[in-house]
């Protein structure tokens, strides 16, 4: 698998691609530049291309000139490949009937080092890192205010991509430079990469982190990162520090979660058109309907301007069938749907009704239970059909204000990639773990804040760590993060008694060997780079 266009960066220091970026919300539009006349570095264009890698896959709309070769362009999307790895291997999501290369072994957790999706994810993250490195090299001498802030944002985005490489693959090739010729990056171990990311985000006492030059919370253009994004990524990293380094960092996780909560962002509590505040986070007008007060980093999408098979179209089309309530999109891919275990989080007695999402929310007593069970089976059965299991109705191309979206096929829904609710659960969990797993008033208040927003009347004075594990699922189900939470709670692989339907490809649920908590370094890169050593078990 190769990077497309990146080859032109290495020998000639020229980028034969660019984006036009408007200050209008959601306007990211690909405009290829003629390589015959483009020989220089175009700072704003490259800066916008780096942001574009979050929501786009190439240079000419949804397909035809992708960034990465040897993988379906829509599948190469930053969000889609992260989502696959963090959702399909867990207790929330299952697919049947799709024969995408690499998908069956991902669902069964039997993947190897040549799995196409694992390889595509690895190369997408490394492609993004390379773009960031090139931008930072070319602007190293910039001292003007715009360049200083752009460099801080690109440092954050590079850290974000390296974070996912650390989380998913552990020991990866690492470089801060773009070099030509036969240059092979050295492999960095997970603990050292953690320390590097710590320095890049918040500093280490001698070197300043990117947070110093990022815009104040909520003062940047919507869709661009600010200090709260750096604090939230740091908080997430510290919450998982024991997994990454062997040493717990609960107090730091709590501190940065509190910084985010006090930053000026606020949980959306606005209701419109009969839609709840939680539903409105995942609707076509979530950039203006009040949800933007909560979303710290959205992945911008516009049906008229940013077309991709791997962004919000993937989330909406793949989870829907045309027998479901109006969802504002003509596409119905009938793919990812609910494993029994995620439905159980809302209906622990196994009594989920076979109703649409409106009836499901009412029956669950929780606005987050946006599941469609009409003409569905609760059981995933033999996993032969999309209706074996409830459907996810969480994501739509419908506007809360009743107006039409800009396109009936490609959605306007911005992906709420990083949002404030995460800080509340980090605070609750970190505080409890600092207290030996015992619930505190602080932890209970944080959980109850989210439950109150979801109109869930079950707001307790204390919670167990298992409650917190399950609350992560209720708040963030199908949002592409579940794997890391299960690993942190020792509920994923190795010596654990937690299972789910079709875990490991076994109908009643099996077990996974401990090494499955990491993905393998792809065979292609092992063969290309003599400095790399494969993760254990592969």
Check residue 74 and give its pLDDT: 64
For the chain, first and last CA: distance in Å?
19
Largest CA distance in the chain: 67
Check residue 465 and give its pLDDT: 98
Q: What 3-state class would DSSP assign to 508? A: coil
**Domains in the chain, ordered, with CATH?**
1-188+490-532 (1.25.40.390), 266-419 (1.10.3780.10)
Within a 10 A sphere around the Cβ of 209, how many other Cβ atoms? 21
Is pTM beyond 0.85 here? yes
Within a 10 A sphere around the Cβ of 88, how many other Cβ atoms? 21
Residues of the chain under the 50 pLDDT cut = 1-38
Kindly give, in sequence order, each residue whose CB lies less than 8 Å from that of residue 118, ignoring residues fewer than 6 positions away: 85, 102, 106, 111, 519, 520, 522
Check residue 364 and give its pLDDT: 98
Give the Cα separation of 35 and 296 in Å (integer).
36
Closest CA to 369 of 291, 302, 270, 454: 454
């Amino acid at each position: 698998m190769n990077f497309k266009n990146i080859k032109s960066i290495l020998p000639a220091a020229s980028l034969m691609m660019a984006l036009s970026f408007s200050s209008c919300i959601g306007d990211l539009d690909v405009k290829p530049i003629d390589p015959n006349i483009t020989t220089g570095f175009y700072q704003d264009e490259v800066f916008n291309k780096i942001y574009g890698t979050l929501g786009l896959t190439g240079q000419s709309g949804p397909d035809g000139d992708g960034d990465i070769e040897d993988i379906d362009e829509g599948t190469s999307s930053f969000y889609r490949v992260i989502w696959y790895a963090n959702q399909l291997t867990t207790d929330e999501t299952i697919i049947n009937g799709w024969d995408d290369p690499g998908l069956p072994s991902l669902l069964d957790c039997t993947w190897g080092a040549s799995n196409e999706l694992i390889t595509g994810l690895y190369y997408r993250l490394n492609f993004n890192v390379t773009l960031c490195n090139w931008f930072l090299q070319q602007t190293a001498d910039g001292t003007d205010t715009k360049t200083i802030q752009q460099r801080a944002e690109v440092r954050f985005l590079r850290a974000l991509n390296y974070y996912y490489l650390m989380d998913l693959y552990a020991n990866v090739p690492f470089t801060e430079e773009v070099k030509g010729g036969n240059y092979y990056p050295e492999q960095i171990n997970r603990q050292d990469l953690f320390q590097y990311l710590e320095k890049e985000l918040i500093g280490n006492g001698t070197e300043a982190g990117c947070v110093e030059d990022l815009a104040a919370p909520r003062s940047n253009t919507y869709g661009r990162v600010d200090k709260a994004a750096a604090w939230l990524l740091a908080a997430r990293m510290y919450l998982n520090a024991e997994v990454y380094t062997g040493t717990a960092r609960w107090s730091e996780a709590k501190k940065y979660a509190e910084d985010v909560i006090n930053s000026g962002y606020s949980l959306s509590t606005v209701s419109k058109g009969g839609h709840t505040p939680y539903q409105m986070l995942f609707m076509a007008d979530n950039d203006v309907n009040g949800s933007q007060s909560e979303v710290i980093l959205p992945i911008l999408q516009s049906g008229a301007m940013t077309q991709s098979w791997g962004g919000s179209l993937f989330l909406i089309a793949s989870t829907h069938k045309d027998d479901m309530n109006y969802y504002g999109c003509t596409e119905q891919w009938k793919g990812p749907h609910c494993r029994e275990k995620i439905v159980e989080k809302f209906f622990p007695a196994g009594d989920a009704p076979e109703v649409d999402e409106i009836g499901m929310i009412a029956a669950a007593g929780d606005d987050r239970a946006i599941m469609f069970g009409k003409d569905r089976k609760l059981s995933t059965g033999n996993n032969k059909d999309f209706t074996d299991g409830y459907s996810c109705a969480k994501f739509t191309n419908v506007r809360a204000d009743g107006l039409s979206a800009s396109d009936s096929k490609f959605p306007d829904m911005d992906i709420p990639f990083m949002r404030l609710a995460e800080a509340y659960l980090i605070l609750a969990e970190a505080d409890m773990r600092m207290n030996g797993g015992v619930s505190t008033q602080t932890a209970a208040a944080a959980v109850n804040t989210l439950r109150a927003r979801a109109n869930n009347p079950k707001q307790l004075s204390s919670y167990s760590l298992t409650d917190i594990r399950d609350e992560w699922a209720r708040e963030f189900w199908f949002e592409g993060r579940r794997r890391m939470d299960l690993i942190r709670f020792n509920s994923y692989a190795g010596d654990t008694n937690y299972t789910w339907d079709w875990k490991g490809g076994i109908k009643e649920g099996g077990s996974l060997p401990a090494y499955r908590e990491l993905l393998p370094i792809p065979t292609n890169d092992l063969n290309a780079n003599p400095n790399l050593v494969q993760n254990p078990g592969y």
